[in-house]
Structure 1
Amino acid sequence: MVQMPRYDVLRDAKKYIEAFLCIKTKESKIVPFRLNSAQKRLYDCIKEQQAEGKPIRIIILKSRQMGFSTLTEALIYYKTATRSNVNSFIITHKDDATTNLFNMSKLFQERNPARPLLKNSNAKELIFENPTKNPREKERLPGLKSKIKCATAGGKGVGRSDTLTNVHASELAFWPGEIAETYAGLMQAVPATRDSMVIIESTANGFNFFKSMWDDAVAGRNDYIPFFAAWFEMDEYRREWHGEQLTEEEEALKAAFGLDNEQIMWRRWCIRNNCNNDIDLFHQEYPSTPEEAFIATGAGVFDNRAIIIRLRTMEETPRRGRFTYTEAQERLDRILLKERRFTEDEKGEILLFKEPEQGRPYTLGGDTAGEGSDSFTVQVIDNITGEQMARLKWQRCDEDTYAKQVYCLGRYYNDALAAVETNFSTHPQKVLEYLHYPKLYVREIYDNYEGRLRKSFGFQTNGLTRPVLVATMQEFMRSNLHLVHDRDTLQEMLCFIRNEKGRAEAEQGEHDDLVMAYGIALMARASGQQRMDVPEEKREKKAKWTADMWEDYRNAGAKEKEYLKEKWGTPW
């Protein structure tokens, strides 16, 4: 007997789902659907977007077997089985997955005491209409005239012919064929109305279209809310601990995420039994962080496992901003940048990780925008240790502005040795020369006309220097990852691979601007053009400032800053 739901249950998706829908468990038991903790967090995320009056757009990066497909199917069933004229579409990566999700929807309908009228269909679809062939009865009681259709990606024109209210794109990273083309065609059928819902969910599959969509969501370049769920959010992912000794990596995991030994034992069991002892496969299928999920599909140049551990444990809070200055024409051939100062701005392109120390030598590497890149970058390193001090990343910046920021950044770090790439344009280098930057990197090139070596400013990345640069960077990072403080740099390193021909480069669709800038800085460091020590007379005892003292200093005016330095001592 069909039961009519109460109004309050009908208007609340969670109440409806838990009151009327059943699921099949991993043990093949049919039980009422009760949301687990990870599903509840996703449901709250959806409700929050709905409360803001926006179309629901969610992209989920998930671990295996967390129940997000089940919740999404339940929400689609609820939205379709309780409203008129709703078209919902579920699309998966392969036929058996399509069958599984369709069977899930069928089970919702079959066990639902408040189920709507259902028209018979041989296709993978539920059509909520009166099945009668009597036209008068159908006119009197037509049913909802809503439907849920399931399909597999790969066919031409999938979903294009309908106007769709709800879409579930399951395992998008594994769709066959041109994923972007299939997705774009499908989305043309979804109006941007507040009652529409699109949920994309997938485990990671290297650096493909799904990775690009995820990155765009994280960066705010599309309207999708990025939702990540780590494996340890599942309460059932535990196994008994019998006093086994934990590895250094396992201890680090416990500390980073507050895990217990039972969770670590499940992880160890899963790697051994479900992932063929392949730690990279575990990171992809059961990630702790988004970075772990997107393991590069090529042969990584750097130690991805070490990079992931570094990303987990980073606590850096850099100053963000850019340099301001006034320009003064000293003479026809020279402009001075006066009153230079670093101005904090939450949208600034420069991050300062550590302040310069008096008398300490620094080196600056710059990678200019060129082929395959739309960013100008700079890395400033400590010339003694190679530690990252600052970085600049500026998209679609003009060359003059870039060169002047390089000038200010280099001067700020004790007139750092400045090595700027000149492959695609020599203009930034010429601007630095015009500004009379005091310490420019010099390279030797062979002059075919004069038959001798001559000196030239700027760094050239070519077939001879690039392999040395990559090898230098690779060797340095083996034991010095703790000296890298920038997440963006580390994330670029994660997708820096060797292609089929052995060339080191960014994975397709990714960038290596920050990696190359760091490599240029290390190459310039090794050139011997910058000191590797602090002069004896400059080795002054530094004062140690607390976080509160630094905050007071940054908020002070120019005169107040001088007073505070006299009062507390100089920390650099």
Structure 2
Amino acid sequence: MAAKQKNQKAIEKVMGDFRLFAKNFIKITDNNGANVPFVLNPEQEHFMKEMEKYNIILKGRQIGFTTFSLAYMLYLALTNPDTNYLMMTHHNKVTQSLLRRLNKMYDMLPHKKYPNLFPKKKINNRDEIYFDNHSRIQVATAGGTDSISGNTFQLIHFSEMAKYPTDEQSEIIATAIPALAKNRDSKIIIESTAYGENEYADMFRKAWRGKESVWKAHFYSWLAKAYSKQFKHSFDEAEEWFKVHNQGSRMRKQHLEHDEKVLKEEHKATYRQLMFRRHYIETNSIEKFKREFPTTPEEAFNTTNVGVFDTNKIVERMQHVIDPIETNEIYDELPDVLKPYINKSLYIYRLPKPSVRCYGGVDTASGTGGSNDNSTISIFNAEGQQMASFYANDVPVYKFAEVVNSLGRFFNYAYLCIERNSYGLPLIERVRKEYGYLNLLKQKTFDKKGHRKLQLGFQTTNVTKPIIINDFVEHFDLNMIVIECVETLEEMKIYQDNNGKLGNKRGEDRHDDLVISVAMSIQAMKHAKYYVEI
């Protein structure tokens, strides 16, 4: 009797803890084809501890988050009556493969040893498994929201979301959030490797920067501990390949190339990992390795570069940007006009020093909100260090003029280059006439008779735009400017030259307004004038 009670307590303990349940009851197939107990790897353990209600994961290939979710859904469904779960993938064949894996997990539970422990299947078809405790695990393929609408789920997992149809990703998310069960334990997991520019990429980057996002970002690089076991065969193969080409020697310090030294010193990569990396690049490409096995989130989203700016240099700069000054540290020093915007639209990285000149660029938009362009300001000091950035699309031109005037005066009456195209012209008129701002760039032009004249602001045309962008590229490549604004760097990543047409990669919320304001700043620095005493 005592042994029976002890065994019952042990069963209750296992059924009350997912990790123990997985280890004791769930079998998975390893790389050698053997069915082994599912013991969470370090990255799965880490995610289990860090998981919140809304989760978005960026990771290298095959770390095991889909396996984790299948096992977790099965555990929850079997131990929590009347609950629903959804796993969605990007392709029907993948969806059906996951359903087979889920069925295999269930079928390999110790049913004979514990005949009454696990709820029985009542329905098992190509869309769902329904248990006699009235819990259900549903699988679906992205391409519509019918599988989500009208249902309530305890856990939703969107697998490889970056590969979903681009025009449906935002709609799927918008439909899923209301479908989440209204309790503190319900969760959504979005996980994917990177796959170009899309809603998933935008969501992850916003969450990773902690920028007004409900999502918690989780990143797992190719240096994850899980790979040492998961990719053991590939690592062994890479090591043998390396030895063949290096007189039987394993990789050592003298073999390292520059980028490998960086990975070794800054990211603690092992020689075994670096041999795998070199072998993969030899058989594929560096671009594919970075996408499939990223070291940093920024690296993951880099595509083959048709961009104007050096993507690797952008990624490197992102590793070293400084945070904006905290609101409470600067609030009392700011003019009242700027206080509502600080660390919402306005980010200040350095305070002005007495008598040090500053230069700014301004790009003006309609200020009508929605997905329209941003009005932007970028300010640098005479040494090329970024002092501040401002971007917002819901500030009307007349209010934006107040911001330009106040921010310029705050930064030692900065010499401002304002793009005069479109809404820029009325902005210039307000800044000059209404606020009496004198320190403005004047562009030399000629009238029809050949008489020289000066006009306030900078006129961007098909002729002048390539020139100012080329100046920007030169200043960035030669480290003549230091950009601290992450949003600016993100815009630079997708700024392209499409057969001579310069601009951002098209899509909602993909702007180039900060790129233009920095380009204007550089023109101000090149003029190196100041019409006022400071």
Instruction: Identify which range, 88-97 or 233-242, moves more after superposition.
Output: 233-242
Cα deviation 1:494-548 (Å, max 9, x = unaligned): 12223477433244231222211110111233346459xxx9xx9xxxxxxxxxx
Aligned to 2:378: 379
**2:254 is the counterpart of 1:264:** no
Aligned to 1:504: 503
Give unpaired runs (5+ residues) of structure 2: 1-6, 111-116, 229-234, 240-249
Aligned to 1:367: 363
Relative distance call for 1:475 and 1:373 in structure 2 (3 A) is farther
Q: What secondary structure, in the 3-state scheme, does the structure 2 residue paired with 1:112 have?
A: coil
* TM-score normalised by structure 1 residue count: 0.76
Tell me which of 274, 284, 287 is aligned to 1:280: 287
Q: Which amino acid aligns with 2:409?
A: R
Q: Which amino acid aligns with 1:375?
A: N
Relative distance call for 1:431 and 1:120 in structure 2 (3 A) is closer
Matches within 5 A, 1:25-174: 25-46=30-51, 49=52, 56-113=53-110, 114-119=117-122, 121-128=124-131, 143-154=132-143, 157-160=146-149, 162-174=151-163
Shift of 1:482: 6.7
Q: Which amino acid aligns with 1:512?
A: D
Contact 2:14 2:20 (C-alpha < 8 Å) held by counterparts: yes
Cα deviation 1:251-310 (Å, max 9, x = unaligned): 23334333343333332233223xx12x22222211122211112477111110121122
Tell me which of 402, 411, 417 is aligned to 1:419: 417
Matches within 5 A, 1:228-247: 228-237=219-228, 241-247=251-257
Give unpaired runs (5+ residues) of structure 1: 50-55, 129-142, 327-338, 539-572
Q: Percent identity?
A: 28
> Counterparts of 1:99 and 1:167 in 2: how far apart (Å)?
17
Q: Which amino acid aligns with 2:271?
A: N
Q: Which amino acid aligns with 2:313?
A: A
Aligned to 2:298: 291
Contact 1:320 1:349 (C-alpha < 8 Å) held by counterparts: no
Relative distance call for 1:11 and 1:438 in structure 2 (3 A) is same
Contact 2:196 2:303 (C-alpha < 8 Å) held by counterparts: yes
Cα deviation 1:190-232 (Å, max 9, x = unaligned): 4443343321111111111212332453445453322211221
> Counterparts of 1:500 and 1:163 in 2: how far apart (Å)?
49
Shift of 1:20: 1.2
Tell me which of 210, 213, 227 is aligned to 2:218: 227
> Counterparts of 2:92 and 2:316 in 1: how far apart (Å)?
37
Q: What secondary structure, in the 3-state scheme, does the structure 2 residue paired with 1:119 have?
A: strand
Contact 1:57 1:224 (C-alpha < 8 Å) held by counterparts: yes
CA-atom RMSD in angstroms: 3.4
Shift of 1:473: 1.2
Shift of 1:184: 3.9
Contact 1:89 1:168 (C-alpha < 8 Å) held by counterparts: yes
> Counterparts of 1:317 and 1:186 in 2: how far apart (Å)?
33
Q: Which amino acid aligns with 1:266?
A: F
* TM-score normalised by structure 2 residue count: 0.81
Tell me which of 360, 378, 400 is aligned to 1:402: 400
Contact 1:325 1:341 (C-alpha < 8 Å) held by counterparts: no
Q: What secondary structure, in the 3-state scheme, does the structure 2 residue paired with 1:295 have?
A: coil
Q: Which amino acid aligns with 1:31?
A: V
> Counterparts of 2:36 and 2:109 in 1: how far apart (Å)?
12
Contact 1:214 1:226 (C-alpha < 8 Å) held by counterparts: yes
Cα deviation 1:309-341 (Å, max 9, x = unaligned): 2222x0524425577789xxxxxxxxxxxx899
Aligned to 2:388: 390
> Counterparts of 1:235 and 1:90 in 2: how far apart (Å)?
23
Q: What secondary structure, in the 3-state scheme, does the structure 2 residue paired with 1:407 have?
A: helix
Aligned length: 491
Relative distance call for 1:256 and 1:530 in structure 2 (3 A) is farther
